[in-house]
Amino acid sequence: MAGRIVALAGGVGGARLARGLAGVLDPEGLTVVVNTGDDFEHLGLPVSPDLDTVMYTLAGRANPDTGWGVAGETWSFMEALADLGGETWFRLGDRDLATHVMRRRMLEDGKTLSQATAALSAALGIRHRIVPMSDAPVRTIVETDEGVLPFQDYFVRRQCEPRVSGFRFDGIEAALPSPGFAAALADEALEAVVICPSNPYVSVAPILGMAEIGSFLDARRVPAVAVSPIVGGRAIKGPAAKMMAELGAETSALGIARHYGARIDGMVIDELDAALAPAIRALGIAVHVAQTVMRGEADSRALAERTLAFAARLAPGR
Ligand code: FO1
């Protein structure tokens, strides 16, 4: 498939497939649209964790152990902050800090988040387009048995321990897709929308939750394909499986297929889950079975190639 692809991403799994897509598509052939529901202001700085994870991953600078943050990071700032009695529950590395300071400067100068992201991506040597889902603030709020928690409080401060009962995306009603996202969807040459193996509730739902995106997918003229973030009943990384169980969904690729339902035409599931293919097909969703765990760049590229070839065989909408 040589045409244009929109990839929806958030978190480490999304970033890894985005890197694979960037490895097999020309810069003009790919727009990576990134969740901003995890964004927050911390220590006076605007932190966009998913945008940064995607940027660092495409730049080949991501920390291979955590998936987020920068490889070879040092922590002098955090140590000095701790000495002063500052907040250390959310760790900003010395190198990562520069990204947030630059973003602060650009936003204060009146640039949009899209413009700031384009400038940071260019500075990191990234040639493919990475765009925030929206330039308007959208904030994920997690509803739990301990009350409502801002996303990073739930995710990092509380280590996803509270039991989840639902999610809210503050600001979503007013949020429009970013100019780069809107342009990519409107492009006559668009060939497919790929939903990366990101958490469906907190990474993908904010993107699909914007009214214009929901309507686009409902009336889509190109196939939409999701790659399952659940393999063998577990999330490769992060709390997706825990959230599914707490919300009463089946913790499997079938549960993911039911979640996306009529919004997708096809799903890529792992070889471990091949037995679920008939049940997913019974939902009217085509299935491609592949090795989906991305341990390195070669895995990411291989999964990207197979996902694109699968999407090219599908007809949009049902
Ligand atoms: N995740 C953690 O578990 N602990 C941290 O201290 C932490 C710091 C951090 C700093 C910058 C950044 O871009 C991401 C960071 N993350 C951290 C990851 C992040 O909170 C989550 O992975 C995403 O929001 C979920 O996709």
Is there an atom of ligand 1 within 6 Å of 155 CB?
yes
Q: Among 12, 156, 157, 204, which residue has the most ligand 1 atoms within 8 Å of its CB, making it the best to mutate? A: 156
pLDDT score recorded for residue 3? 62
Atom number in ligand 1 closest to CA 11: 26
HEC-encoded secondary structure of the chain: CCCEEEEEECHHHHHHHHHHHHHHCCHHHEEEEECCCCCEEECCEEECHHHHHHHHHHCCCECCCCCCCECCCCCHHHHHHHHCCCCCCCCCCHHHHHHHHHHHHHHHCCCCHHHHHHHHHHHCCCCCEEEECECCCCEEEEEECCEEEEHHHHHHHCCCCCCEEEEEEECCCCCCECHHHHHHHHCCCEEEEEECCCCHHHHHHHHHCCHHHHHHHHCCCCCEEEECCEECCEECCCCHHHHHHHCCCCCCHHHHHHHHHHHCCEEEEEHHHHHHHHHHHCCCCEEEEECCCCCCHHHHHHHHHHHHHHHHCCCCCC
pLDDT score recorded for residue 318? 57
Is there an atom of ligand 1 within 6 Å of 42 CB?
no
Q: What is the mean pLDDT of each run of 10 residues along the chain (318 residues)?
A: 84 96 97 98 98 98 92 97 97 98 98 98 98 98 97 97 97 97 96 97 97 94 97 90 94 97 97 98 98 96 98 85
pLDDT score recorded for residue 237? 85
pLDDT score recorded for residue 2? 47
pLDDT score recorded for residue 263? 95
pLDDT score recorded for residue 1? 47
Q: Among 38, 65, 68, 139, which residue has the most ligand 1 atoms within 8 Å of its CB, making it the best to mutate? A: 68
pTM: 0.97
